[in-house]
A = this chain, B = another copy of it.
Amino acid sequence: MASSDPSVRAPRASDASASGAPARALATGGAAFSPLYRQIKDLLVQSLDRGEWKPGESIPSELELAARFQVSQGTVRKAIDELAAESVLLRRQGKGTFVATHNEARVRYRFLRLAPDEGEPAPAQSRILECRRVRAPQDVARSLELRAGDSAVLIRRVLSFGDIPTVFDEIWLPGALFRGLTQERLARNEGPLYAFFEAGFGVSMIRADEKLRAVAAEPLTADVLQVPVGTPLMQVDRVSFTYGGRPVEFRRGLYRTDRHHYRNSMN
């Protein structure tokens, strides 16, 4: 880490207390007020986005960051608190603060909400049916903030639990971010897809919005999931976002819910 970091402390309202003059000029250009800890949070997110600290690595200690940004440890702490609450960072007492990974057990089932009706959640077997580059259809392009016709990667896969095919996913990714993604590399990958994306392409999925509905199985889907045509399935449309709220995946999943259910918790 460079010791002469350009991200120095932004003047803020509180500084007036020392000089008596109401000096106020925010680094963001002065349009919107944002507390110091949130400016620090934004700087941390920018560093994550730039890849300064990679998933699984530890970030500098709170005291180091406080020195770098010229603020108190408490202010850095509050910024990290928010990022930890969003599962972007992970604190481990006595060890440090780490960039979250999609490999850890603690977040492993954060995005896969399908749970077995009986027994414990078990890892799924993934079979890649297809992976090719296509022009983004209009609705996908809109979700991914691409221009219609831009390059995209389309993946079709099936997730099975104990030999029962349960999830049929169609996944669209922005072609520009996933150069070199091939069916071979996908098939070689074990473990969660998102862990593969962050390790192989530097794209971290941080947040996702889903829309769920009940639909009848169409012939193709029915064949893949080995159910009669017309069987009620859950259709899950998801848009996933990376640092800074940029959409980087659109996905349509079709779930069999005869032995599994989609779990959700609200508060």
| Integer count of this chain's copies in the complex | 2
- Choose the segment among A17-25, A121-129, A227-235 that binds chain B (4+ C-beta atoms closer than 8 Å): A227-235
Residue A110 CB within 8 A of the other chain: yes
- CB contacts (< 8 Å) of A86 on chain B: these are 267
Residue A140 CB within 8 A of the other chain: no
Residue A201 CB within 8 A of the other chain: no
Residue A187 CB within 8 A of the other chain: no
In the complex, per-residue mask of A109-125: 1 if CB is within 8 Å of any chain B CB, else 0: 01101000000000000
Bound-complex Cα distance A113 to B86 (A): 21
Residue A206 CB within 8 A of the other chain: yes
Q: When A232-B216, A232-B232, A233-B232 are in contact, do A210 and B87 touch as well, CB less than 8 Å?
A: no
In the complex, per-residue mask of A208-234: 1 if CB is within 8 Å of any chain B CB, else 0: 111111111000000000000010111
Bound-complex Cα distance A166 to B168 (A): 27
Contact A257 B206 (CB under 8 A): no
- CB contacts (< 8 Å) of A87 on chain B: these are 267
- CB contacts (< 8 Å) of A266 on chain B: these are 110-111, 113, 207-210
Q: When A86-B267, A265-B208 are in contact, do A214 and B234 touch as well, CB less than 8 Å?
A: yes
Task: Find the B residue at minimum CB distance from A267.
Answer: B207
Residue A93 CB within 8 A of the other chain: no
Interface pairs A-B: 6 shortest CB-CB? A213-B257, A232-B232, A214-B232, A214-B214, A207-B267, A212-B262
Between-chain CB contacts (< 8 Å), 29 pairs: A87-B267, A110-B266, A113-B264, A206-B267, A207-B266, A207-B267, A208-B265, A208-B267, A209-B266, A210-B266, A211-B261, A211-B263, A211-B264, A212-B212, A212-B234, A212-B262, A212-B264, A213-B234, A213-B257, A213-B261, A214-B233, A214-B255, A214-B257, A215-B257, A216-B232, A230-B230, A232-B232, A232-B233, A264-B264
